[in-house]
Amino acid sequence: MAYDEELADRVRESLTRWEGLTERKMFGGIAFMLSGNMAAGVLRDALMVRVGPDGYEDALAAGAAPMSRGHRQMRGFVSVGRDELTDPATLDAWVARGADHAAALPPK
């Protein structure tokens, strides 16, 4: 399994209230897009959240880890491990961070 499908289902359910939700296979996982902008995704057993450069330090302070692809750090993206997401309210809060950032961007 390239990504945790149960976690992806939980993310999908959390995003149902947002308009313009689509999904795309990306980075060997699944990405959830709002109006063409990535909000969140699932890679292996972790949640990837696009928080943008302005939300990056706050997300790290809240317990997220930096995202990287290979040796390159993806500033503006953070990772939250599955073990940190057992509480539905915690998952919803992280997904909302990504959705809020994506919704603030111009549609693609």
pLDDT in tens, 6-51: 999 999 999 999 989 999 998 789 999 999 999 999 999 999 999 9
The edge-to-edge listing of strands for the beta sheet with 21-26 is: 21-26, 29-34, 37-43, 46-50, 72-81, 65-69
48-92 tens-digit pLDDT: 999 999 999 999 999 999 998 788 888 899 999 999 999 999 999
Element (H, E) at 57: helix 52-61
Domain boundaries, the chain: 5-104
Q: Which pTM does this prediction carry?
A: 0.93
pLDDT of residue 1: 55
| CATH of 5-104 among 3.90.1150.10, 3.40.1190.20, 3.90.1150.30, 2.40.50.140 | 3.90.1150.30
CA distance 48 to 32: 10
Classify burial at 21, counting beta carbons within 10 Å of its beta carbon; exposed 0-12, middle 13-18, buried 19 or more.
middle
pLDDT of residue 70: 81
Query: Tokens for 61?
Result: 């302070």
Q: Which of the pair, 2 or 49, is modelled with greater confidence?
A: 49
